[in-house]
A and B are shown apart, each in its own frame.
Chain A
Amino acid sequence: GNSVTQMEGPVTLSEEAFLTINCTYTATGYPSLFWYVQYPGEGLQLLLKATKADDKGSNKGFEATYRKETTSFHLEKGSVQVSDSAVYFCALSDRPGNAGNMLTFGGGTRLMVKP
């Protein structure tokens, strides 16, 4: 079956540090890949996505590249801010379009950024 594995947190960084959160997956076919972010007390929000191999998703300074050869979708940001403190979830879907819209989520990685 499908699975998503993320690095365990919490990840604690100082402001302006470089961020990497690792994500690897197991899936059949050619999944779409997502990063969601959950700020304290809120629901999950889509941060970025990539729908095919070698695609790079980007948003708000965050980037992730769909690497089929390593089955990875690592999240990166060059300079984190205190406001980036949140829980980040990697997710995949192997049934895009009309075959069902289910997502498989990783366990989440908590990021804490200190001033």
Chain B
Amino acid sequence: DAGVIQSPRHEVTEMGQEVTLRCKPISGHDYLFWYRQTMMRGLELLIYFNNNVPIDDSGMPEDRFSAKMPNASFSNLKIQPSEPRDSAVYFCASSRMGSYNEQFFGPGTRLTVL
């Protein structure tokens, strides 16, 4: 298994630019999660999908953030426009129904907004 794949691994952008983070979950997994990790706030759940449908987006901080899952093999998280306070490591994770909720995490995307 290739595991959860995220791209890019590092992203540096300027304030106001659009940022797109990408995730490929493990094949056969039907849940996908987006998290954000910062020193100040720790690990935060932003949104999660079940069978490509968004279930809970209450963790999405603002309208500047959006996430989609057009098919079972791909999801993206967009920030438009980006701000310096969005700088963080963004993780994608996937899991399979009936697996006692074990989540498999990707390596993360480190985002720096200047």
Interface residues of A (CB under 8 A from B): 32, 34, 36, 41-46, 49, 51, 89, 93, 95-98, 100-103, 105, 107-108
B25 at the interface (CB under 8 A from A): no
Give Cα distance in the complex from A103 to B107, angstroms: 18
Contact across chains for B45 and A49 when beta carbons are under 8 A apart: no
Q: Name the B residues within 8 Å of A43 (CB-CB).
A: 4, 91, 93, 105-108
With A43-B106, A43-B107, A44-B91 already in contact, the answer to whether A32 and B100 are too (CB < 8 A) is yes
B97 at the interface (CB under 8 A from A): yes
Q: Name the B residues within 8 Å of A89 (CB-CB).
A: 43
Contact across chains for A102 and B102 when beta carbons are under 8 A apart: no
Interface residues on chain B, number (Cβ under 8 Å): 25
Q: Name the B residues within 8 Å of A45 (CB-CB).
A: 105
Contact across chains for A107 and B42 when beta carbons are under 8 A apart: yes
Contact across chains for A108 and B100 when beta carbons are under 8 A apart: no
Question: Interface of chain B, helix or strand or loop or mixed?
Answer: strand
Give Cα distance in the complex from A15 to B63, angstroms: 48
B82 at the interface (CB under 8 A from A): no
Q: Which of B43, B101, B107 has the most CB of A within 10 A?
A: B101
Could you jot down 10 A-B contacts, CB within 8 Å? A43-B107, A49-B100, A93-B100, A93-B101, A95-B101, A97-B97, A100-B55, A101-B48, A101-B103, A108-B42
- Return the CB mask of B84-97 against A: 1 if under 8 Å, else 0: 00000001010101
Contact across chains for A101 and B95 when beta carbons are under 8 A apart: yes
B14 at the interface (CB under 8 A from A): no
Partner of A102, one of B4, B48, B99, B106: B48
B56 at the interface (CB under 8 A from A): yes
Q: Which of A42, A101, A102, A107 has the most CB of B within 10 A?
A: A101
Quick one: which of B58-114 are within 8 Å of A by CB?
91, 93, 95, 97-108
Q: Name the B residues within 8 Å of A100 (CB-CB).
A: 50, 55
